[in-house]
Structure 1
Amino acid sequence: MNKTLKELNLEDDFLFAKVMSDKDICKALLEKILEIDIEKVEMVQEQKTIDLLLESKGIRLDVYVKDGNNTIYNVEMQRTKHKNLPKRLRYYQGTIDLDLISKGEDYRKLTKSYIIFICTFDLFDKGRHKYTFQNVCLEDNNIILNDEAQRIILNTKGFMNDLSEELLEFLRYVEDSTDDTVNNAQGNLVKKIHKRVKEVKNDISVEAEFMTLLERDREKIEEGREEGREEAIKQLILKQYSKGLSIEYIADINEIDVEYVRDIVKNNTSKTDN
């Protein structure tokens, strides 16, 4: 059955990017996650593409943010447990850095940056809701490289009481973006986000954009079938699945056998969970 825009949770990257495009909400969430004050958010881009070289792999970022001090924040929603997630973090960091500095420019132009992945799984299975990484000397962990790059992995499946109640409420809301979750919330963060979620879901132009993207994906799958590009078909099926569409609906809109879609989803999940 089709999962409509109104049925999406915040874990669906389309809805997440739309909600985070609101500067005030984006600023409030970043401040809670990083425990810092941000004077002003200057720019928020959703689905920003960085494709620097023909020979290199480009990336598309869910949410790309710049504040008044030129600090860069990249926030991604992750629903599929990939073993290569740490390598993806590394690649995103390198690509963002290359985008910030031109050939011949001084390295001082590389500004402070944060890459934040919000996951619906615990990548490390340690029970934490938040894992923060920065470069530290192995011989003396009191020495920090101070390259001003930090990577944070948040997850909804932690069980430790290791975050503020507002952030824990936010992580619960990611997978259950409903009135019931908001009614049980004590803080203001989830309430602000939910108000924006309802605005997005009731926006006819956003709903049209959502359906257009699904149709575009279906056309790409059809092109891939005609050209015998199995890998392209696989990636687009997984993309649609990550948007919250059911296996049956993906098969229906793309006119593909449901067992074929189920096998792709199952095999991808089994490979990444081992």
Structure 2
Amino acid sequence: MPSWQDVTITENFLFEKVMHNKRICKRLIEKILGITIQSIEFPEAEKSISIRRDSKSVRLDVYVTDNTGRVYDIEMQCTNPLDDELIRRTRYYQGMIDMDLISKGHNYTELNSTYIIFICTFDLFGLGRPTYTFRNLCLEDTNLELNDGTTKLFLNSTAVIPYESPDIFPYSDLDDDIFYFLQYINGHAPQGTFVNEINKEVAKVKENKEMEKSYMTYAMEIERRERIARNIGLEEGMKEGIQKGLKEGMQKGMKKGLAQTALAMLEENIPLDVISKCTSLTIQEIEVLAKEHHVL
């Protein structure tokens, strides 16, 4: 993990702290979705959901609700997982959020609308678009929407890299401030009132000594978990290697014993097919063995 001095907003820890500025978080959601929100609340400082003790829990970067009850989960994603792991993760997040809402006494009809937003530093779908928005549609008639209240959205910060300003950007439906925000994520200098406000909040958080201590603790915990994972991997690898070695050793020992039995039977002029049945060696293997030991 980068040092505190080198941390940027793409690091989950810093992104989460900056987004706890309600004004910034609210405006970011509004600009991404093109909606107006009266107010937002953070139900918990760090939202973790675990439905059962044996289920895989999730820790959401930024989890907020607005005054109408709509739920927003915003995730910063800097690594592109293999296959469709990230896409499947949105499905799991959706299920966990819904189960969390139901566990609080809601009926199915009272499930709030949810928005799962991934801000990615890569193009997950490879089409060059700055945003990819998904809702459930009827395959026979794509004008018919299921209206189950779920939306999943992926932002692609690489889409804006070749362009200096939103004026020449081919996707005119992208908010200008989101254009500059995606550039900012790519390491460009902040531009526009909104992104400059975000940059000031980043500086404010990084000047906070308590935040620095928290980050160092966070980084140490991540390192500890990675070390444990590596150790577990080494232990499992060693066990697998030992088991494989024992198995191969036993197989070699058995093969050697069968070969010695076959040689003894050959010296007694016992037919090859009988030797094969007694030792499970093929006739070809017995012939090779006999030639090597000059028995035939």
TM category (shorter chain) comes to 0.7 to 0.9
> Is the counterpart of residue 80 in structure 1 residue 89 in structure 2?
no
Residue 46 of structure 1: CA displacement? 5.0
Structure 2 matches for 1:1-274, cutoff 5 A?
Answer: 3-43=2-42, 45=44, 47-82=46-81, 83=83, 84-102=85-103, 105-159=106-160, 161-162=170-171, 163-176=174-187, 181-182=189-190, 185=191, 187-224=192-229, 228-230=231-233
Give the aligned residue type for 2:3: T
Preserved CA contact (<8 Å) 2:65 2:71? yes
Preserved CA contact (<8 Å) 1:23 1:44? no
Give the aligned residue type for 2:126: D
Give the aligned residue type for 1:32: K
Residue 229 of structure 1: CA displacement? 1.4
Preserved CA contact (<8 Å) 2:32 2:175? no
Residue 174 of structure 1: CA displacement? 1.2
Residue 200 of structure 1: CA displacement? 0.3
Q: Which runs of 4+ in 1 moved over 6 A?
A: none
Matched length: 224
Cα pair distance change 1:36/1:87, threshold 3 Å? same
Residue 86 of structure 1: CA displacement? 1.0
Deviations 1:171-207 (A, max 9, x none): 0111316xxx12xx1x311011011001001000000
Residue 24 of structure 1: CA displacement? 0.5
**Runs (5+) with no aligned partner, structure 1:** 234-274
Preserved CA contact (<8 Å) 1:45 1:63? no
Preserved CA contact (<8 Å) 1:10 1:175? no
Q: Whole-Å Cα distance in 2 between the matches of residues 232 and 120 of structure 1? A: 34
**Runs (5+) with no aligned partner, structure 2:** 161-168, 237-296
| Bigger relative CO (Cα 8 Å, ≥ 6 apart) | 1
Q: Whole-Å Cα distance in 1 between the matches of residues 119 and 217 of structure 2? A: 26
Over the aligned positions, Cα root-mean-square deviation in angstroms equals 2.2
Preserved CA contact (<8 Å) 1:18 1:46? no
Residue 7 of structure 1: CA displacement? 1.4
Q: Whole-Å Cα distance in 1 between the matches of residues 109 and 234 of structure 2? A: 40
TM-score normalised by the chain length of structure 2 = 0.71
